[in-house]
């Protein structure tokens, strides 16, 4: 393996050479996801795309050949709702230690005065796109890739209208632009103020949940009206007062779908009704109580699509050992990880997402927990590959190993999601990355490049 | 389990002492419930074939208790306290059918409640009436057909809320800081609402003429105030002092709308005639006062005095705990004010039904009304009595026997889960096992 890395490094200097060079993985087991498993076959990758796949795929003469004996090739994993690469989002420092103090928000801008109503557009940044904010140097891009993730739907998550998500490939480099597959996936809506706090009285509008819901409703009414007035003005501007430009409404209008938070079954019900009222195509995220019969019923009736958080509820760590949680809370802890299996059984479209987890160990454990709670391994894989691709409408490019699709692959020794499985390497847009054997020890100090310089081989 | 909206079962309650709160008064007899409605009430009734017969020998039956002022079953805060006029928010958006207070209220004989926004704002959020249909979803909780409301609040709360300087004049914080300011906020809001209504009326007239004008902007803050002006939404006004009660009546007269109920209204006895003349109800506490300066002048005779002066009066809880024992709150009006048993019970049944505009549906046990019925083992006006069974729309939502007998099973289930969690946690805490 080491030899190969060095060999590839030679090509690195010349972009053109790298782009033309094919990589062929031979004699490997290929889990295509879209079709049958190929027990022994070849995948050929060129120009960042899958050139060929099959039992007898031809290996081009110029290809770098990797012997995949004993290896399995999977499509690269996709995080259906992520903050990897987003500035100011929760950082990987938390690890598995449970939520420590909230990560301080980057405070470049002075605090806005308390909003007096919807007209002040509180906690709204509907116009920003993750693609424009993403930081390619974010350490979490590398750690997530080490866990087999090659793609993420990255979303701004702070505020009522947090902004527009983007689908990005997890490349390490300088140019965020190269990473972007889809610049706008829709609008992320949360029912929490940006920067937290502000509850109760005196924190500005809105402070209560009903205020937040009312605010979102008003924004959609305003957006509809704004569009109407703008259209009228465009048709016949003469003699008509020009409508005032409103970036908050522009951002909402250009978002083709919304993400709505729904953890409890009560919230699933509430948000499905809300999306119908707003007449917006919606995806619901969270789904802690997705296992509940009622959640299932509501989701089925609405033909809804959901993103299930991999951060399973846990008992508070610093709790008095003798203190008893309410029964309901214990049931939720017990049943939450069965949600993916329940959704699968009921034919509800779902994908899984990291929700702040970002180390290979935490991610692997969380996925394993869903499998241990009844989700078939192949369904877990689908929920992390082809399903998110379908949900975001990029199944023609992503999510399975098929000719012509983007060359995002994970190559393992052992079954993916197993505790002792080793990820040999990852291809992202055909670029090969070899995970570091261990997480870098603290105090490595003075390393040349910002992130894992010896891991990535870039064109 | 999601119950059908109307109980399909036929139920007959026999041999009970029925305090009907209707024309028949109190008598010994039977009730026939069919399709969620009371079909027949009388000394002797025909038992339809296939009916479930409940023998209530020695027990009392009353109409379901109605709480005219409650804040239960609300998710994410009852106060949108950030602004002085928060009419854009609606309790309907945040109903929490999982709130255990619903079940506790049922166990206290409550079958319906007016769920109000808090009192942090001169004009607060939109409110609605729920039935305590425990086990259903948000939509299933709603008392369909009941007129929605809006909360107003006078006095200390709206002038103190959201002001960092404790509401003193001149301190930085939210306007208003005085009672004068509260009046001004309400007047300003209705000035705006009138203008808004005029704009929409003009638009509607143009459309009716076949024209195609651009519609005005829909404003969620002013929509419910427009509805108040049109008489489509009830005003429930939190208040204490006589002077501010008179103030709000003047404001309402000036703008041409009605106050449906004065809530708390601890000094209502001082201005009962004026309240009655306006046509408003008074929903007060039995004997809860002096928790702040504006609540010093209260008397336990308030409900009785207001009733005597012609105000439709009720007793409310404003509190999940007090909500469980409104029957004995009503009983206090017999000691303070010398009300009869029927008059006292009316304070938590037919009177709040009248105040909420649903007296044709609930509040008494009479043929044709919703089958919202409570059985007590003893006199409901005694604090030794316990609720035995509660029906809403003919569906049984509470049964003391099955509640009590179900407890050991629930405890066992919980213990099992707790033990399992402990067992799973132990190896992790103990470090490496022998492997």
CATH number at residue B392: 2.30.40.10
Q: What is the pLDDT of residue B8?
A: 66
- Split at pLDDT 50, 70, 90, the class of B425 is confident
The superfamily (CATH) of domain A77-397 is: Metal-dependent hydrolases (3.20.20.140)
Note the helical H segments in B70-178.
Answer: 100-107, 138-141, 156-160
Cis geometry, peptide bond prior to residue B176 (ω within 30 degrees of 0): yes
Residue B231 DSSP SS3: coil
**B162 shares its domain with B78:** yes
Residues of chain A with confidence (pLDDT) below 50:
1-18, 90-109, 197-202, 443-459
**B261 shares its domain with B376:** no
CA B411/CA B390 separation, integer angstroms: 24
* Best CA proximity match to A392, nearest among A362, A353, A431: A353
**B111 shares its domain with B43:** no
**Chain centroid to CA B431:** 54
CA A69/CA A41 separation, integer angstroms: 10
CA B359/CA B349 separation, integer angstroms: 9
Which of A208, A228, A334 is facing B76, going by the closest CB pair?
A208
**B215 shares its domain with B300:** yes
Domain with B332 in it: 65-362
Q: Outline where DSSP puts E strands in A289-404.
A: 305-309, 349-353
CA A446/CA A444 separation, integer angstroms: 7
Q: Which two tokens stand for residue B236?
A: 């429930």
Q: What is the pLDDT of residue A200?
A: 42
Residue located via tokens 């609405």: A302
Q: Kindly identify which residue of chain B lies nearest to residue A117, measuring between CA atoms.
A: B83
Residue B2 clears pLDDT 60, i.e. is over it = no
Backbone angles phi, psi at B380, to 5 degrees: -65, -15
Q: Kindly identify which residue of chain A lies nearest to residue B2, measuring between CA atoms.
A: A294
**B244 shares its domain with B288:** yes
CA B18/CA B123 separation, integer angstroms: 41
Q: Is residue B383 part of a domain?
A: yes
CA B220/CA A53 separation, integer angstroms: 57
Contact B183, B155 (CB under 8 A): no
DSSP conformational letter for A200: S
Q: What is the pLDDT of residue B204?
A: 97
CA B313/CA B326 separation, integer angstroms: 14
pLDDT in tens, B235-285: 999 999 999 999 999 999 999 999 999 999 999 999 999 999 999 999 999
**B135 shares its domain with B9:** no
Q: What is the pLDDT of residue A94?
A: 35
- Split at pLDDT 50, 70, 90, the class of B65 is very high
Which of B75, B80, B418 is facing A206, going by the closest CB pair?
B80
Is there a contact between A218 and B125 if contact means CB atoms under 8 Å apart? Answer: no
Q: Is residue B121 part of a domain?
A: yes
Note the helical H segments in A170-208.
Answer: 176-179
Contacts of A209 in chain B (CB under 8 A): 75-77, 93-94
Note the helical H segments in B209-269.
Answer: 223-229, 242-255
Q: What is the pLDDT of residue A377?
A: 97
Q: Kindly identify which residue of chain A lies nearest to residue B163, measuring between CA atoms.
A: A202
CATH number for B113: 3.20.20.140
**Chain centroid to CA A31:** 22
Nearest CA-CA distance, residue A207 and chain B, Å: 6
> Which residue spans of chain A are classified as CATH 3.20.20.140?
77-397
**B234 shares its domain with B280:** yes
Which of A212, A215, A270 is facing B138, going by the closest CB pair?
A270
Which of A115, A202, A269 is facing B174, going by the closest CB pair?
A202
B81 interfacial to chain A (CB closer than 8 Å):
yes
Q: Is residue B433 part of a domain?
A: no
Which of B90, B139, B164 is facing A202, going by the closest CB pair?
B164
> Which residue spans of chain A are classified as CATH 2.30.40.10?
1-76+399-459
Cis geometry, peptide bond prior to residue A206 (ω within 30 degrees of 0): yes
**B21 shares its domain with B160:** no
Residue from B73, B78, B80 whose CB has the most chain A CBs within 10 Å, to mutate: B80
Q: What is the pLDDT of residue A322?
A: 79
Q: What is the pLDDT of residue B361?
A: 98
CB neighbour burial string for B364-396, b if at least 16 within 10 angstroms, e if fewer: bbbeebbbbbbbbbebbbeeebebbbbbbbbbb
Contact B283, B69 (CB under 8 A): yes
Residue B50 clears pLDDT 60, i.e. is over it = yes
Global pTM exceeds 0.95: no
Q: Is residue B416 part of a domain?
A: no
CA angle A107, A110, A116 (to 5 degrees): 120
Contact B49, B9 (CB under 8 A): no
Q: What is the pLDDT of residue A19?
A: 56
Is there a contact between B77 and A209 if contact means CB atoms under 8 Å apart? Answer: yes
Which of A191, A210, A232 is facing B90, going by the closest CB pair?
A210
B421 interfacial to chain A (CB closer than 8 Å):
yes
Q: What is the pLDDT of residue A319?
A: 80
**Bridge partners of residue B114, in order along the sequence:** B129
Q: Is residue B215 part of a domain?
A: yes
Contact B140, B5 (CB under 8 A): yes
CA A44/CA A50 separation, integer angstroms: 6
Q: What is the pLDDT of residue A10?
A: 36
Q: Kindly identify which residue of chain A lies nearest to residue B161, measuring between CA atoms.
A: A201
pLDDT in tens, B66-103: 999 999 999 999 999 999 999 999 999 999 999 999 99
CA A285/CA A282 separation, integer angstroms: 10
CB neighbour burial string for B37-51, b if at least 16 within 10 angstroms, e if fewer: bbbbbeeebeeeeee
Domain total in chain B: 2
CATH fold, domain A1-76+399-459, is Urease, subunit C; domain 1 (2.30.40)
Q: What is the pLDDT of residue A450?
A: 39
Q: What is the pLDDT of residue B6?
A: 63
Q: Is residue B77 part of a domain?
A: yes
Backbone angles phi, psi at B27, to 5 degrees: -155, 165
Nearest CA-CA distance, residue A302 and chain B, Å: 16
**B357 shares its domain with B368:** no
CA A115/CA A216 separation, integer angstroms: 14
CA A15/CA A457 separation, integer angstroms: 11
Q: Is residue B414 part of a domain?
A: no
B137 interfacial to chain A (CB closer than 8 Å):
yes
Q: Is residue B380 part of a domain?
A: yes
B188 interfacial to chain A (CB closer than 8 Å):
no
Which of B79, B219, B413 is facing A208, going by the closest CB pair?
B79
Q: Interface of chain A against chain B, CB under 8 Å?
A: 114-118, 191, 199-215, 217-218, 221-222, 225, 228-229, 232, 264, 266, 269-270, 273-274, 294, 315, 324, 327, 330-331, 333-334
**B54 shares its domain with B73:** no
Note the helical H segments in B259-355.
Answer: 272-278, 302-308, 326-335, 341-346, 350-355
Contacts of A203 in chain B (CB under 8 A): 82
Is there a contact between B217 and A222 if contact means CB atoms under 8 Å apart? Answer: yes
Nearest CA-CA distance, residue B364 and chain A, Å: 32
* Best CA proximity match to B120, nearest among B73, B85, B88: B85
Mean pLDDT over each residue of chain B, to the nearest integer? 94
CA A390/CA A410 separation, integer angstroms: 19
Residue B99 DSSP SS3: coil
């Amino acid at each position: 393996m080491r030899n190969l890395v060095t060999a590839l490094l030679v090509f690195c200097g010349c972009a053109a050479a790298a782009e033309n060079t094919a990589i062929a993985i031979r004699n490997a087991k290929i889990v295509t996801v879209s079709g049958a498993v190929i027990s022994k076959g070849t995948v050929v990758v060129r120009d960042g795309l899958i050139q060929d796949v099959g039992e007898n795929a031809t290996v081009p003469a110029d290809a770098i050949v990797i012997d995949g004996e004993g290896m399995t090739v999977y499509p690269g994993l996709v995080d259906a709702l992520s903050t990897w690469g987003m500035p100011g989002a929760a950082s990987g420092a938390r690890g598995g230690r449970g939520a420590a103090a909230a990560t301080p928000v980057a405070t470049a801008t002075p605090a806005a005065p308390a909003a007096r109503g919807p007209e002040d557009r509180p906690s709204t940044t509907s116009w920003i796109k993750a693609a424009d904010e993403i930081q390619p140097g974010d350490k979490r891009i590398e750690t997530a890739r080490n866990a087999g993730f090659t793609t993420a739907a990255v979303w701004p998550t702070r505020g009522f209208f947090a902004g527009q998500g983007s689908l990005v490939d997890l490349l390490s480099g300088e140019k965020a632009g190269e990473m972007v597959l889809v610049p706008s996936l829709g609008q992320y809506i949360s029912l929490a103020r940006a920067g937290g706090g502000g509850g109760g009285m005196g924190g500005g509008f809105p402070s209560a949940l009903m205020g937040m819901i009312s605010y979102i409703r008003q924004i959609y009414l305003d957006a509809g009206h704004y569009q109407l007035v703008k259209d009228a003005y465009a048709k016949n501007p003469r003699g008509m007062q020009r409508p005032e430009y409103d970036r908050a409404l522009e951002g909402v209008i250009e978002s083709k779908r919304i993400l709505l938070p729904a953890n409890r079954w009560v919230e699933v019900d509430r948000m499905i009704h809300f999306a119908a009222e707003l007449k917006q195509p919606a995806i619901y995220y969270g789904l802690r109580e997705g296992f509940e019969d009622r959640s299932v019923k509501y989701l089925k009736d609405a033909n809804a699509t959901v993103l299930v958080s991999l951060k399973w509820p846990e008992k508070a760590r610093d709790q008095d050992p003798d203190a008893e949680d309410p029964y309901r809370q214990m049931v939720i802890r017990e049943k939450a990880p069965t949600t993916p299996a329940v959704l699968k059984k009921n034919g509800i479209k779902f994908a899984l997402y990291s929700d702040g987890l970002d180390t290979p160990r935490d991610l692997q454990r969380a996925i394993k927990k869903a499998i241990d709670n009844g989700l078939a391994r192949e369904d877990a894989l689908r929920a992390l590959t082809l399903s998110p691709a379908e949900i975001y409408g990029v199944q023609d490019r992503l999510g399975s190993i098929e000719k012509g699709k983007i060359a995002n692959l994970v190559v393992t020794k052992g079954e993916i999601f197993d505790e002792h499985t080793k990820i040999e390497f990852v291809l992202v847009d055909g670029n090969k990355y070899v995970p570091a054997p261990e997480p870098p020890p603290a105090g490595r100090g003075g390393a040349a490049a910002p992130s894992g310089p010896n891991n990535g081989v870039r064109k | 389990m999601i119950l059908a909206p109307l109980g399909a079962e036929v139920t007959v309650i026999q041999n009970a002492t029925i305090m009907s709160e209707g024309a028949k008064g109190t008598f010994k007899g039977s009730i026939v419930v069919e399709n969620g409605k009371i079909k027949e009430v009388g000394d002797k009734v025909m038992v339809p074939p296939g009916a479930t017969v409940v023998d209530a020998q020695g027990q009392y039956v009353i109409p379901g208790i109605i709480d005219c002022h409650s804040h239960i079953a609300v998710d994410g805060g009852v106060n949108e306290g950030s602004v002085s006029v928060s009419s854009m928010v609606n309790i309907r958006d945040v109903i929490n059918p999982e709130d255990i207070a619903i079940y506790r209220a049922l166990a206290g004989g409550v079958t319906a409640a007016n769920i109000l926004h808090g009192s942090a704002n001169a004009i607060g959020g939109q409110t609605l009436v729920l039935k305590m249909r425990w086990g259903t979803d948000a939509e299933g909780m709603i008392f369909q057909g009941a007129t929605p409301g809006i909360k107003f609040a006078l006095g200390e709360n709206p002038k103190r809320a959201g002001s960092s300087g404790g509401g003193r004049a001149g301190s930085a914080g939210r306007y208003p800081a005085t009672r004068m300011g509260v009046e001004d906020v309400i007047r300003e809001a209705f000035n705006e609402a009138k203008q808004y209504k005029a704009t929409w009326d003009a638009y509607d007239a143009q459309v009716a003429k076949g024209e195609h004008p651009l519609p005005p902007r829909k404003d969620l803050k002013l929509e419910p105030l427009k509805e108040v002006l049109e008489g489509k939404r009830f005003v429930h006004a939190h208040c204490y002092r006589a002077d501010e009660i008179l103030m709000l009546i003047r404001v309402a007269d000036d703008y041409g709308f009605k106050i449906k109920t004065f809530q708390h209204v601890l000094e209502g006895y001082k201005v009962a005639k004026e309240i009655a003349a306006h046509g408003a109800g008074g929903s007060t506490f039995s004997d809860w006062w002096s928790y702040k300066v504006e609540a010093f002048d209260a008397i336990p005779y308030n409900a009785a005095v207001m009733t005597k002066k012609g105000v439709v009066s009720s007793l409310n809880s404003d509190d999940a705990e007090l909500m469980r024992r409104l029957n004995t709150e009503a009983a206090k009006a017999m000691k303070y004010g010398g009300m009869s048993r029927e008059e006292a019970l009316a304070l938590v049944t037919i009177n709040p039904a009248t105040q909420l505009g649903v007296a044709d549906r609930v509040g008494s046990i009479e043929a044709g009304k919703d089958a919202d019925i409570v059985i007590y083992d003893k006199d409901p006006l005694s604090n030794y009595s316990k609720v035995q069974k509660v029906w809403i729309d003919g569906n049984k939502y509470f049964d003391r026997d099955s509640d009590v007998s179900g407890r050991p099973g629930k405890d066992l289930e919980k213990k099992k889960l707790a033990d399992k969690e402990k067992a799973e946690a132990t190896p992790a805490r103990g470090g490496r096992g022998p492997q």
